[in-house]
Amino acid sequence: MPEAVRSGTALLEVRDLRVSLGRARRKTEILHGVDLDVAAGEIVGLIGETGSGKTTLARSILGLGVRGSGALATGRITVDGTDVTSLSPARLRAFRRGGTVQYVFQDPLRSLDPDLTIAASVAEGLRVRGGLDRAEIRERVAESLDLVGVAPALASRRPAELSGGQRQRVAIARAMVLEPRLLICDEPVSALDAASRIQMLDLILRLRDTRGIGVLFISHDLGSVAGITDRVSVLYRGDLVEQASTVELLAHQQHPYTRLLIGSAPTLTSGAADRVRRSELRAELAALEAAALESAAR
Amino acid sequence: MAEPHASGALVVARDLTISGPEGDLVHGISFALERGGALGIVGESGSGKSLTCRSLLGILPPGVAVTGGSIELDERDVTNLSYRDWQGIRGTEIGAVFQDPGSYLNPGIPVGKQLTEVLRVKLGMSRREVSAKAIESLGALGLRAPEIVSLQYPHELSGGMLQRVLIAIALAESPRVLIADEPTTALDVTVQAEVLDVLADLRERLDLAVILVSHDLAVVAQVCTEIVVLKDGMIVEAGPTARVLGDPQHEYTRLLVDNHARYGIERYLSPELADA
């Protein structure tokens, strides 16, 4: 990784992001003032349990909101120097079409149109953005599929005819064809088998190294996070409870949830002592929660 | 692992062959589970691990059947039992939980009631007895405030809580064997550990024998003392967990262990492994 690329200024800056659902008395806050940075050439992991707000955070970056809920977000989000929170809806749509930020989701069967061929799916973003003729689009699509290692013969197939690993590569090709600066991967390997998972992680690393993109890598799979991220943020019930370099976080965990998370990752050798340790950590977390509830009630 | 021909084992599969309309899916596999033992069956999707489990429960899908070999439960040959005979075995002698616990519960009935129904119908307990027993068994599975949990609906509970409710239902009639087929696959890592810890704990406390099926070696290693590695319907390797994982003999097992080593968490946590 060249120094010049990695030490770039923050590509993504999230400041005091609060997201809440509902109105007035029935309002529930999902994210309680989150700060997060991703620099160019950096892979930042975001880990946390289901419902901790990981996906909400990711979706808020491009103002996608929380599906059909009328969620309300406050705070400031800057992407590559553009304050996206201050953009008008029309300008935000234009910014999305520009392709600076691209998403890859867990299940490519749901993110790829089942009726479109692979080539058409990858070309879609370019067509929407405009400015290229057919031959240029075809060329870019071929380059992008080549970049992620999808054979040209698969370009005329449809998503259902591909394996899970191939589909996820296509989802990445579809994102990379727009030459994004920031790739947001939301559980990109969770639905894949071990072999495809490793290939996918290698691919993401390679894209970072060759293209200098920033990556926000969301996962509950610690093995993957440990393997490819430079820094990790831990989200617990809507709060970032811990942020550190990956090496540092694996060596010393500050918050009991992080300790439990790391202690819960199955290893080939764990035994009864690990079980006792986890049970203690669960009790510690439960006590923290009880204390938080009590202070909220006061 | 106990020899398949040894007597006294709780579950024995001898040369078990399972076939579908297009040919054999499981090719003459043999294994045995001791009383209070824990056997892990590991393999990728399509390896035949779930079919093997289903054959032990008499619930093979339509068109798929045991076509060779035998299955014994507690020294009784159950290979060719009728539907009616199986009903007397499932639940009482062998229980099971599966992936995606939410889909096995009725969304419109509080979970405690779903558990008490089983107790009432199967064990003939009175209404008063069953609700106390339900709360007791939910508490025994490490659910905090079981009297509240039992009044909640499935959508109000996390995946790990739902799986524990299903384990409570599976164990309602005190079977001596529990089959857990990918019980933690859709769950978060902390919740996965909770469920696996519950299984390990049940083994110790109740002397419950467990068959745990997973595509993940490390998951199986949390609970099981014996491992069978399946590939394309055949056993490629079997033996004590520490030996199979520590010194894998078959190329495929080595591949699975290597895959885990490459992106598992261990090498980031213990320096001596990272250097290896």
The burial class, CB within 10 Å (0-12 / 13-18 / 19+), for B205 is exposed
Confidence of residue A2 (pLDDT cuts 50, 70, 90): very low
Q: To the nearest whole angstrom, how far is the Cα of A198 from the nearest Cα of chain B?
A: 7
The burial class, CB within 10 Å (0-12 / 13-18 / 19+), for A18 is middle
**Residue whose pair of structure tokens reads 């990728």 in the numeric block:** B44
The burial class, CB within 10 Å (0-12 / 13-18 / 19+), for B209 is buried
- A236-249: per-residue pLDDT in tens? 989 999 999 999 99
The whole-number average pLDDT for the span A128-145 is 95
- Tell me how far the alpha carbon of residue B144 is from its chain's centroid: 24
**Chain B residues lying within 8 Å of A196, measured CB to CB:** none
What pLDDT score was predicted for residue B160?
86
Confidence of residue A292 (pLDDT cuts 50, 70, 90): confident
What pLDDT score was predicted for residue B267?
73
pLDDT at A259 over 60: yes
DSSP SS3 for A10: strand
Whole-model pTM: value is 0.83
Q: To the nearest whole angstrom, how far is the Cα of B177 from the nearest Cα of chain A?
A: 21
Instruction: Output the average pLDDT for chain A.
Output: 88
DSSP SS3 for B58: coil
Chain A residues contacting B, CB < 8 Å? 49-50, 193-195, 197-198, 201, 220-224, 226-227, 246, 250, 260-270, 272, 275, 278-279, 282, 286
Q: Pick the closest to residue A186 from A173, A199, A208, A171 (CA basis).
A: A171
**Chain A residues lying within 8 Å of B47, measured CB to CB:** none
Residues of chain B with pLDDT under 50: 2, 5, 272-276
Residue pair B225/B37 in contact (Cβ under 8 Å)? The answer is yes
The whole-number average pLDDT for the span A18-44 is 88
What pLDDT score was predicted for residue A120?
96
Cα B21 to Cα B23: distance, rounded to the nearest angstrom: 6
Torsion of CA A259, A262, A265, A266, to 10 degrees: -70
Residue pair A260/A288 in contact (Cβ under 8 Å)? The answer is no
What pLDDT score was predicted for residue B3?
52
**Chain B residues lying within 8 Å of A221, measured CB to CB:** 189
pLDDT at A207 over 90: yes
Nearest CA in chain A to B263: A223
Segment among A7-11, A254-258, A293-297, B189-193 with least mean pLDDT: A7-11
**Chain B residues lying within 8 Å of A220, measured CB to CB:** 188-189
**Chain B residues lying within 8 Å of A225, measured CB to CB:** none
Q: To the nearest whole angstrom, how far is the Cα of B185 from the nearest Cα of chain A?
A: 10
- A153-189: per-residue pLDDT in tens? 999 999 999 988 999 999 999 999 999 999 999 999 8
A198–B264 C-beta distance less than 8 A: no
Cα A7 to Cα A2: distance, rounded to the nearest angstrom: 9
Confidence of residue A49 (pLDDT cuts 50, 70, 90): confident
**Chain A residues lying within 8 Å of B263, measured CB to CB:** 194, 197-198, 201, 223-224, 226-227
A264–B192 C-beta distance less than 8 A: yes
Q: Pick the closest to residue A269 from B265, B37, B228, B242 (CA basis).
A: B242
What pLDDT score was predicted for residue B7?
56
What pLDDT score was predicted for residue A67?
47
Phi, psi of A261 (to 5 degrees): -60, -50
Token reading at A29: 């806050």
